[in-house]
Structure 1
Amino acid sequence: MHTARPTARGPRAAVLALAVLAVGVGACSADPGTPETAAPPAATATSPVVTSDGSAAPPTRQLDHALDDDLYDAAVADDTALVRDLIARGADLETRGDNGRTPLVAATKNKASEAAVALIEAGADVNAKDDLQDSAYLYAGAEGLDQILAATLRHGADLRSVNRYGGTALIPASEHAHVSTVRMLIAAGVDVNHVNTPRWTALQEAIVYGDGSQPYQETVTALLAAGADPQIRDADGRTALQNAERLDQDAIVALLR
């Protein structure tokens, strides 16, 4: 007579029971709807990125071109409050608009001084140039925009940078006899004897493009006091004195002699 195999008892039975229970729990945990095994969310533009050394890199800024466009327009309109608000909301300080202008260059060319200063204080690049090779620093110097110029000088203006004519900011400032601007640039350390591509110095341009009036006399006086060399010749071989005599600028001639 065949005897049935007895059912497992004791410790072995307990082990088998635990194994079965573990399998059941694993099956439940495999449920994709449970938090433990749900797939991680897809990375977003602001998710931290892990670098090669295992540290977390800063999140990438989500681009918002509408904000950038608004910042450009607000800068041109000299709407300082809106400029600051848009910067705080993440607008790109170096976005480019018409003719390759940044908001700062656009504000400067529109004489929007308050907005320009706000952009500079927020970190806008004072040396960034547009398609005409004008930066906020160079243009402010050329046009006598002293409030903007002073801010650019406080925030890293490159005194050796040149415009499309190969001239420093001091040369067109002297050409236009912006006396306070000339003095500011001299004090900042701009080279008074720099020669531009057409072979003019600041002193030569103050004479050749000037009229010998009081502002030009003050400009020439400031340049000479700063070490401007009157013996540097222009493209035609003339000195500053020869040009002043040729143009009948008697007061300038007296200063040069």
Structure 2
Amino acid sequence: MPKPDTRRHLLSAVALALLCAVSAPVMAGSYEDAVSSARLGDTAQLSDLLRRGIDPDTVDANGNSLLILAAREGNAATVKALLQYRPRLGHRNQAGDSALMLAVLRGHEEVAELLIAAGAPVNHEGWTPLHYAAFEGREALVDRLLAAGADPGALAPNQANALMLAARNGHIGVVKRLLKTPVDLNQINDAGYTADAWALSNGNTDIAELIRAERARRGIEPPGLRIEIQ
């Protein structure tokens, strides 16, 4: 007859084997289920997986975290559920986009608010949420990002600031907001354009006039332009 210690070890081994037998089928498809539920907004399924131990920082083949997938699709309830598990708010996918950047790009204001309130970074190297908001003309999001401390002078990889992106695309409401900040009116992008020159090149004469009026009000001279012809 086995000794007491031996019996305990046998019982522990049996219990562990049973646990693994039950858990293995359950967790086998958990990765796919987590990615799918984040993307589709299946909050109930994702919450269940999170409770059972799925990593909230799980990423897909393109480096999109569960939070990025949910934010990109505007799944506010799913984002809220994920935030309870403290995912990495500043994680960026292979394209360099964060959850906040993609929420802003697609105009998901509720999701963006959740992320900003949770402490998602608004300033970092490369493209930023403010660049995306300015490029798309999302006035409410520009206001919210500026209130959260977004740097209007931050430069995108093409050396454009948010004002320049808004001016290029004809978003006069965003331009007016950004002209109230200390943004550099003489910043020159990698093609040699200032904000007003870029506005003019795209037919946005009213915006160009606003920028030039603000430059005069500040008492600064326009820079010499170097437009590259390719």
Above 0.5 in TM-score?
yes
1:193 CA drift (Å):
0.7
Q: Map Cα deviations across residues 26-65 of structure 1 (whole Å, 9 max, x no partner).
A: xxxxxx61315657446969xxxxxxxxxxxxxxxx9934
Flag as ranges the 4+ runs of structure 1 deviating above 6 A: none
After the TM superposition, which residues 54-65 of structure 1 pair with which residues of structure 2 at under 5 Å, given as runs?
Answer: 64-65=27-28
> Of 199, 209, 213, which residue of structure 2 is paired with 1:254?
209
Q: Deviations over 1:68-102 (max 9, x none)?
A: 33222111111222222222222221122232222
2:72·2:106 contact (CA, 8 Å) conserved in 1?
A: no
For normalisation by structure 2, the TM-score amounts to: 0.77
Under a length normalisation based on structure 1, what TM-score does the superposition of the two structures give?
0.70
Tell me: CA distance 1:124–1:244, structure 2 relative to 1, closer, same or farther (3 Å). Answer: same
Among 18, 37, 45, the alignment partner of 1:82 is 45
**Aligned amino acid, residue 34 of structure 1:** K
Separation (CA, whole Å) in 1 of partners of 2:142 and 2:94: 25
Name which one, 1 or 2, has greater alpha-carbon Rg: 1
Hey, what does 2:2 align to over in structure 1?
A: 33
- Decide whether aligned partners of structure 1 residues 251 and 80 sit closer, same or farther in structure 2, where only a CA change above 3 A counts: same
Cα distance in 1 for partners of 2:59, 2:7 equals: 43
- Over the aligned positions, Cα root-mean-square deviation in angstroms equals 2.6
Q: Larger RCO: Structure 1 or Structure 2 (Cα < 8 Å, ≥ 6 residues apart)?
A: 2
- 1:241 — aligned with what? 196
Contact 1:142/1:170 (8 A) holds in 2: no
Stretches of structure 1 that go unaligned for 5 or more consecutive residues are 1-31, 46-61
Q: How does 1:196-207 map to 2 (within 5 A)?
A: 196-207=156-167
Partner Cα distance (2:128, 2:109) in 1: 16
Q: Gapped runs of 5+ residues in structure 2?
A: 18-23, 214-230
1:68–1:92 contact (8 Å) kept in structure 2 = no
Q: How many residues align?
A: 203
Query: If each structure's helix is expressed as a fraction of its own residues, which one has the higher value?
Result: 2
SS in 2 for 1:192: coil
Map 1:56-205 to 2 at 5 A. Answer: 64-162=27-125, 166-205=126-165
